[in-house]
């Protein structure tokens, strides 16, 4: 069995339009990262602009109180270095053939630089057209909203997707701080939303598209990515 190569593309947005700090939700990167490398995959960590990936302070608790993957990250200088000096999207956007899957972690930063980024949209389109796995968790599906199918229709149209729900956005009190409500946008684009109660782990796989609803869903999302890759290799 050949080694899987997985590309993680994170946000580079460190602030919201209201000036509040934001960035990536750390667990949504560290959980899949370690799940992938522990399975033997090679992982490249990129971001929209490259360099240091902004981390939402709200995703970090005192030592000993974080998700296990975050605690592992805090003791892992090598992975800290990857996040502090990520590869720019422009350096990998023409290397789709080198990867088997792309994963978009969430965090509110994604709502500000994923949706209108044509380079990211084209990357998603090429992964899809080449039969590769496309995955995202929580607010990560914001990166799917600008992509299109070959016939020009929205990439998400007719596909089953899990993402941070409108109810969850209201629960965290940031419904007015984001440019749009992600669940509403995905529905407007024709996606079939699969939802669970607020903040419960939930992830779905629609052939080669894998998505998760919230931070608690990161593990399930990563597991479904690996399952989709295994099916691809068997095929």
Other Cβ atoms within 10 Å of 197 Cβ, number? 10
Tell me what pLDDT residue 233 has.
54
- Distance CA(157)–CA(185), nearest Å, equals 11
- Distance CA(220)–CA(5), nearest Å, equals 19
* Contact between 24 and 18 (Cβ < 8 Å): no
* Contact between 212 and 221 (Cβ < 8 Å): yes
The candidate with the shortest Cα–Cα distance to 164, out of 147, 185, 148, 149, is 185
State pTM to two decimals: 0.96
* Contact between 163 and 204 (Cβ < 8 Å): no
* Contact between 135 and 102 (Cβ < 8 Å): yes
Under the banding of pLDDT at 50, 70 and 90, the label for residue 234 is very low
Other Cβ atoms within 10 Å of 62 Cβ, number? 6
pLDDT, one tens digit per residue, over 2-38 is 799 999 999 999 999 888 999 999 999 999 999 999 9
Residue 188 structural domain: 5-234
Structurally, how many domains does the chain consist of?
1
- Residues of the chain above pLDDT 70, percent: 98
Residue 226, domain CATH: 3.40.50.880
pLDDT, one tens digit per residue, over 60-91 is 999 999 999 999 999 999 999 999 999 999 99
């Amino acid at each position: 069995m050949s080694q899987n190569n997985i590309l993680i593309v994170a946000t580079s947005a460190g602030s919201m339009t209201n000036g509040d700090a934001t960035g990536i939700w750390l667990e949504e990167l560290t959980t899949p990262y370690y799940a992938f490398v522990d399975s033997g995959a090679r992982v490249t960590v990129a971001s929209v602009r490259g360099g240091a990936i902004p981390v939402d302070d709200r995703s970090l608790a005192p030592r000993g109180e974080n998700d296990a993957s975050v605690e592992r990250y805090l003791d892992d200088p090598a992975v800290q270095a990857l996040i502090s000096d990520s590869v720019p999207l422009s350096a990998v956007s023409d290397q789709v053939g080198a990867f088997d899957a792309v994963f978009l972690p969430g965090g509110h930063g994604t709502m500000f630089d994923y949706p209108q980024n044509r380079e990211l949209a084209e990357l998603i389109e090429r992964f899809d057209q080449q039969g590769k796995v496309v995955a995202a968790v929580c607010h990560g599906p914001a990166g799917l909203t600008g992509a299109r199918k070959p016939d020009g229709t929205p990439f998400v149209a007719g596909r089953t997707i899990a993402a941070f729900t409108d109810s969850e956005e209201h629960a965290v009190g940031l419904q007015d701080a984001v440019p749009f409500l992600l669940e509403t946008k995905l529905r407007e684009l024709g996606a079939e939303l699969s939802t669970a109660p607020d903040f419960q782990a939930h992830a779905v796989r629609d052939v080669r598209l894998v998505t998760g609803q919230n931070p608690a869903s990161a593990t399930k999302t990563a597991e479904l990515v690996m399952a989709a890759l295994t099916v691809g290799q068997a095929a």
